[in-house]
Amino acid sequence: MSAAIDELMDFDDVIETYDPVMGMEVHVELGTATKMFCGCPTTFGGEPNTQVCPACLGLPGALPVANAKAVESAVRIGLALNCSIRESSVFARKNYFYPDQPKNYQISQYDKPTSYDGYLDVVLSDGTTWRVDIERAHMEEDTGKSLHIGGATGRIHGASHSLLDYNRAGVPLVEIVTRPIEGAGERAPEIARAYVTALRDLLKSLNVSDVRMDQGSMRCDVNLSLMPKGAAEFGTRTETKNVNSLKSVETAVRFEMQRQAAILSAGGEIVQETRHFHEADGTTSAGRRKETAEDYRYFPEPDLPPVIASPEWVEGLRATLPELPWVRRARIQEQWGVSDEVMRDLVNVGAVDLIIETAEAGASADAARSWWVSFLAQQANTRDVELAELAITPKQVAEVIGMVDEGKLTNKLAQQVVVAVLDGEGEPAQIVADRGLEVVRDDSALQKAVDEALAANPDIADKIRSGKVQAAGKIVGDVMKATRGQADPARVKELVLAACE
């Protein structure tokens, strides 16, 4: 007997009855110009099957050659995660058949990965720190992409046929695998999200990947199991594959906890399987039975020599590591003079690095902070995305702020420009030019609009002449409407008062 798949236990009841155990596997596409074992480009969005060659298509006689830049990036990631770096690591063949893997095996690493035994300390919403232990960070190649045609869900079940794009096959990956995360209790979903957030920030600071979760540059597999309170052995785990946003990581953990608890409490058993996450409703559904390591029949890759990382070379790479995000934030907090609570709020909404980068692009820190935590945060909420996933860069925000500072845009006009950037209309300066949004500076045009507004409101004009200056607000509003918001309100008020003297 088992509970229905969509039956969920109340989250508080889950915590009362079970202890969750998590494991996170994060795949990061490295930002190299070419693939892991050949010279094909890695440009995102190319025409299908135009970035391929005999090596990444697995044609007979084509031999792989490791990408030196990818190896360097992998070691830098390991160092930043406080890992030990293996002096001689080995590539292995991971054997399995999937249509999107043209060789019928994946070149990965198995028992001798590049980096191992590390950790990442993550800060939670209340300021406490949780240490996530890293088991390994190993190199491998990505698979291609399948497009299933004819089904209702976009998945292979029910599809009439599938299309394969091998452009992504062979793109360099680093897979970062945690050790089991125990003792998290009710904070398990939060810890999962905080870990992936911190990892994304770290990888971005290393400049090894664009970590675009929406484009698959960073993908998270969430392993989760439950064990009854007081039990000593882990429960059977599921692996929710390719979760591609920070919010979804948290949602997937919570849903699987509630789903598994409902099954276990009804006397059912958890099936060890992969599961698909559905963004629309935050649920998961069954995929395929999960293989074990033995099923993949790993063996050393015969066409690639070991990767040698001499201590001298590793220490040289260690010296290239940038200021880590949390160190940078502590320094910036002192510069900004904000409290721990304010800084924690900025961190929790994912605004800190965006504000820093906007300030580095030329805006004042105060203006950058105001834009990101007010108008842009509202836009992120409306569009149901994370702040960092908005389709606008800190440089573009700084450009808009600069136009406001120069008097070319009012705040309202600037908001129109930002929305247009978010909607994909182009760069800020081009949008201003195309829409004719720049503030009207011609006093003769403004004076005409003022005169027309006063003539249309003689009673208001009389009030202003009698000394009721606050009445000028109505005339200013009419002029702003007549000029589509492109007038400088302060200058308009000056002209109104002068006309009523």
Do 416 and 385 sit in the same domain of this protein?
A: yes
pLDDT tops 50 at residue 4: no
Structural domain containing residue 461? 443-499
116 falls within a domain: yes
* Residue 220 binned pLDDT confidence (cut-offs 50, 70, 90): very high
What mean pLDDT is predicted for residues 481-487? 65
* Bridging pattern class, strands 84-85 and 115-123: antiparallel
Residue with the bigger pLDDT between 456 and 104: it is 104
Do 431 and 447 sit in the same domain of this protein?
A: no
Identify the DSSP state of 471.
G
- Copy the structure tokens of residue 200: 């994304």
Left (φ > 0), alpha (ψ -120 to 50) or beta: where does 211 sit? left
d(CA 413, CA 419): 10
4 falls within a domain: no
Q: Report the chain's C-alpha Rg in angstroms.
A: 28
* Residue 3 binned pLDDT confidence (cut-offs 50, 70, 90): very low
The number of domains in the chain is 3
d(CA 173, CA 36): 8
At residue 74, the 3 state secondary structure works out as helix
d(CA 297, CA 146): 24
- Residue among 358, 489, 357, 470 at smallest CA distance from 411: 489
Domain boundary among 385, 401, 435: 435
- Copy the structure tokens of residue 287: 């995929």
Q: CA 269 → CA 235, 292, 440, distances in Å?
A: 10, 18, 70
Give the per-residue pLDDT at 492. Answer: 64
Give the per-residue pLDDT at 248. Answer: 94
d(CA 56, CA 410): 53
pLDDT digits (tens, 9 = 90+) for 176-193: 999 999 999 999 999 999
Lowest mean pLDDT among 299-308, 381-390, 444-453: 444-453
Summary mean pLDDT of the chain:
88
Residue with tokens 């440089």: 395
Domain boundary among 255, 288, 312: 312
User: Dihedral (C-alpha) 42, 394, 333, 367: value to the nearest 10 degrees?
Assistant: 180
Domain boundary among 312, 334, 365: 312
75 falls within a domain: yes
Do 198 and 344 sit in the same domain of this protein?
A: no
Give the per-residue pLDDT at 78. Answer: 98
Q: Across the strands, what pairs with 273?
A: 289
pLDDT tops 60 at residue 440: no
* Residue 260 binned pLDDT confidence (cut-offs 50, 70, 90): very high
> What's at 75, amino acid-wise?
V
Give the per-residue pLDDT at 382. Answer: 92
d(CA 237, CA 264): 12
pLDDT tops 90 at residue 487: no
Do 411 and 455 sit in the same domain of this protein?
A: no
318 falls within a domain: no
CB 343 within 8 A of CB 329: yes
Do 298 and 348 sit in the same domain of this protein?
A: no
pLDDT digits (tens, 9 = 90+) for 94-104: 998 778 888 88
Helix (H) or strand (E) holding 466: none
Q: Across the strands, what pairs with 165?
A: 145
Do 386 and 412 sit in the same domain of this protein?
A: yes
The 10 Å CB-count burial string (b at 16+, else e) for 94-130 is: beeeeeebbbebbbbbbebbbbbebebebbbeeeeeb
**Residue 477 half-sphere exposure toward CB, CA atoms < 13 A:** 7
Do 128 and 180 sit in the same domain of this protein?
A: yes
d(CA 120, CA 196): 10
Helix (H) or strand (E) holding 133: strand 129-141
317 falls within a domain: no
141 falls within a domain: yes
Phi, psi of 457 (to 5 degrees): -135, 65
Do 382 and 247 sit in the same domain of this protein?
A: no
d(CA 199, CA 193): 10
Do 406 and 465 sit in the same domain of this protein?
A: no
d(CA 238, CA 361): 44
pLDDT tops 70 at residue 486: no
Largest CA distance in the chain: 94
At residue 7, the 3 state secondary structure works out as coil
The answer to pTM > 0.85 is no
Q: Across the strands, what pairs with 141?
A: 172
Sign of CA dihedral 175, 176, 182, 188: negative
Give the domain CATH number at 493.
1.10.10.410
Do 449 and 389 sit in the same domain of this protein?
A: no
Give the per-residue pLDDT at 39. Answer: 96
Do 237 and 102 sit in the same domain of this protein?
A: yes
Residue with tokens 């027309």: 452
3-state secondary structure 198-229: HHHHHHHHHCCCCCCHHHCCEEEEEEEEEEEC
What mean pLDDT is predicted for residues 120-147? 93
Lowest mean pLDDT among 11-20, 44-53, 348-357: 348-357
Phi, psi of 107 (to 5 degrees): -80, 120
CB 94 within 8 A of CB 108: yes
34 falls within a domain: yes
> What's at 238, amino acid-wise?
T
1 falls within a domain: no
Do 113 and 196 sit in the same domain of this protein?
A: yes
Q: List the Cα angle 73/76/78 in 5-degree steps.
A: 110
* Residue 262 binned pLDDT confidence (cut-offs 50, 70, 90): very high
Q: Across the strands, what pairs with 440?
A: 487
d(CA 323, CA 321): 7
* Residue 1 binned pLDDT confidence (cut-offs 50, 70, 90): very low
Give the per-residue pLDDT at 215. Answer: 84
- Copy the structure tokens of residue 473: 């607000």
d(CA 379, CA 355): 16
- Sequence-separated contacts (24+) of 462-470 with Cβ below 8 Å: 464/496, 464/497, 464/500, 465/500, 465/501, 469/497
